[in-house]
Structures are given as structure tokens and as C-alpha cells.
Structure 1
Amino acid sequence: MDRHDGFREFVLARQQALTRTAYLLTGDAHLAEDLLQSVLIKVAKQWPKLSVDGNPEAYTRKALMNQYISWRRRLQREWPSASPPERGASHDEATIDRIMLRQAMTKLTRKQRAVLVLRFWEDLTETQTAEALGCSVGNVKSQTHRALARLRRLAPELSDRSSLSLLQEVAV
């Protein structure tokens, strides 16, 4: 029996969801792939224990959040312009809203962004989010409050739409 039995199946089954979570955290497809790849390497090393005693999905999600939050290097993002495109015939309202939300999300702290992704994209409870991030439920609540308030300040034009519903749509 191979010590990594089941790992390939786990990755194939959860890769799309994990990639989407990584993308929501980083805001860049290539960085998301790098983030997920580095996490899966760590998960593979722990696989023998995880496949027997643990919850591989919860462990992987927590490792993904921790890796994202602790990245030391500065992530460089290239944006074609500092402001969203002109509202015109070439873009519909939903597309412009998603662009503005993505830009605003890049200005959140890593912890705030991680909390929003876990709470509103992954649809985790406050308790599950706290477990995934290794912090208290109170910390999750305060980070969520601060992150949403900051999003509203950074993108006031989105205030007529729910930030939460936009956040759920941003990876679509």
C-alpha cells in the first residue's frame, strides 16, 4: 500500500474548489496556482496521518489560509489602470461591480480577505472560520466587521448592492 493512497483522488475531487479559494485570496490566477501548489506539497507530506486520523479538507483549507497570510514576499499585481473602466456599452454593470470589488479586496489586509473568503465564499460559520484561521470567534467577527466597513469605504459606489452578494459572485 502506497503512503499517498487517496491523495490523488482527494486533489482531483477538491482541486477546483481549492483553486477558486486560492484565487479569491490572491486575486491572481498564477499566484493562486503557486499558493495551492505549495500547500498541496505540505498536505502530501502529512497525507498518511490525514487519511487515517484527520479531516484532509479542513486541514488543507487551514494550510491554504495560513500560507496565504504568512507569505513574506510582496505580491505584485498588475492592473491595466488605477480605476475601473468607463461605464459603457462594452461592459455590463455586474462586470464593473466585480472589477471594483476585486480592486477593493486587494486593499484589505490578508487576514481580512481570508475571513471574507471563508465566511462568504466558502460559506463557513464563524466557528469554522475561527478554526480554519486558528483564532477566536470574536476575532472573526471583528475582522469581518472591519473588512466589510473598509470595502464600503473603498468602493462606495457598490453600497447599493450587497457587498456579500458581490463577494459570492466575484469568482464567477
Structure 2
Amino acid sequence: MSSIYEIPVQSASGEIKTLAEYRGQVMLIVNTASKCGFTPQYQGLEALYRSYASQGFVVLGFPCNQFGDQEPGDIKEIQSFCSLTYDVTFPLFAKIDVNGPGAAPLYQYLKSAAKGLLGSEGIKWNFTKFLVDRQGTVRARYAPTSTPESLRKDIEAALR
């Protein structure tokens, strides 16, 4: 892929599309899970989305069940949980794999563009975050332990 905007992704409704509709926006792409110790980060992610959406910022959630079976539900259950528990309004996509031979093309791209600790590519756990600037360049990768609030400076810099 020559651009992040050309990579196919599956919407929550099952439609295959690309990230082209987010061209020119700052994206925070996160692999999520509903039964994880980091699940309360949904609240912080939603706060970021609401704070910066009017400036061209979007959070994109990609549910994943590869870590400790912490996202066992289907997309309708996931959406319901996120809406009822954390009032999530940012886009959630279909459940994906982020590692292994079945890793989604988007995550293959992200992991290659922004390596993890000691140059590793593999996603270590739920709520790993990638910040993508308005030009589609992956600017940063954040560990699951990085709280959404701790990303504000980097998001604000990317929005300038």
C-alpha cells in the first residue's frame, strides 16, 4: 500500500471501505476490548474525540479478541457495551486480528510504520494506539499503559 487511505477496512456494518473519508484528519487508531483492565480508556478516548473532533480529529476503534479472550462478543454487543457504558460516539469497526497471519492489512501497515519497544512490530496488548497526522503519516505508537489524557500534547501538535 502506498497510502494508509487505500487500505481496506471493514465497517461495523460489514461494508468494506477505506480510510479515505478521514483524509486530512488526525487519526488515533486503537485496538480495543470490552473486558480488559484497560477498557476504562474508552472514557478517555471519547473525551479526546469530543475535545478535538471539531478541529479534524477522530478516534477509530478496532475491537480485537487476540489478547486473553477479552473481546468475545460480536460487533453489535461491542457497540452496545461501548455506548451504554462509556457513551462512545467515535467510529468502531468490525472485529479484527492485529497479529499473526490473519492480521488486518491496516495493522500490518501501522506496525511496520511505527515499531514498538526494541523495534518489535507485534502488538503486545489491547489499547495500543497509533497517531496518524493529516498527511497520513504514522507519527507515534503508544503502549496500552499510555492513557488517552497523556496524548493530548501530541494530538494538539498534530492538529496544528
What range is the shorter-chain TM-score in?
under 0.3
TM-score under structure 2 length normalisation: 0.25
Greater strand proportion? 2
TM-score under structure 1 length normalisation: 0.24
Identify the structure with bigger relative contact order (alpha carbons < 8 Å, sequence gap 6+).
2
